[in-house]
Chains A and B, each alone.
Chain A
Amino acid sequence: MADLLVLHNDVQEIPQLADFIDSFATQHSIPPALSMSLNLALEEAVVNVMNYAYPAGTVGEVHLSAEAADGTATFVLTDSGTPFDPTATPPPDLTLGADDRPIGGLGIFLVGQIMDTVAYQRQDDKNILTMTKNIKQI
């Protein structure tokens, strides 16, 4: 049975995501460092949807489900907004110095750095982003 979190496109609701991940981590004995990474990746993915999926001034929903089985956590992020494939975003150039580094463009990159797999699907007028992470204790 997956846990489900429903948020609106308002970044002020982001602290609810932290509580959701905390409780998921406790349930599945995920250590604090990994839990923080998962929180970070999911915040970036969720904020991206909050900021860009729905036209400014309209209210939209962001659904996140979380499930753990056989040592793998699977997160599915769904919205009914504008089609957008975050996996097609080019990575930032991390070798640039401070003067040349653009402000921003790191969010989606962090999702890919932290998660083991990130897959995008457009289905039934929804954006569906499926992310997995190995949570087995070593």
Chain B
Amino acid sequence: MNTTIKEQNGELVATLEGRLDTAAAPQTEKDLAPLMAAAGKNVVLDCTKLEYISSSGLRIFLALLKAVKPAGGHVFIEGMSDDIRSVFAMTGFTQLFEFR
């Protein structure tokens, strides 16, 4: 699992690449920690190269949303595959996030 963060057009863009399983989740959570302090900026999660997610990954997405939203920011998900989107649908996460 590889995670990189960059700032682009005033938004914080995190690119997630690989398998976000329970083994990878603690490191990914650390890698995404800077986004938690986005202070009103929008966060974009580029999931084009995300191959897999389990509930430990969903937990990180939700924690991020809970941190970014009260500060007035949005969390956008980009490029998510249908297979991973189905995991979001099963868990009611589709309504929580904005997709683009």
Contacts and interface: CB of A to CB of B under 8 A. Distances in A.
Interface of A: 11-15, 18, 32-33, 36-37, 39-40, 43-44, 47, 92, 94-99, 101, 103-104, 106-107, 109-110, 113-114
B90 A18 contact: no
B24 to A, nearest CB: 8
Contacts of B23: 11-15
B55 A18 contact: no
B21 A14 contact: yes
A43 B21 contact: yes
B69 A98 contact: yes
Q: Is the interface of A mostly helix, strand, loop or mixed?
A: helix
Nearest to B68: A98
A61 to B, nearest CB: 17
Given A11-B23, A14-B22, A97 B62 contact: no
Contacts of B28: none
Given A15-B21, A40-B53, A40-B87, 9 more contacts: A11-B22, A15-B19, A40-B52, A43-B54, A97-B96, A98-B96, A101-B62, A110-B55, A110-B87
A86 to B, nearest CB: 13
Nearest to B23: A14
A11 B96 CA distance: 28
A110 B65 contact: no
B66 A98 contact: yes
B37 interface: no
B15 interface: no
A40 B62 CA distance: 18
A40 B54 contact: yes
Interface string B70-83: 00000000000011
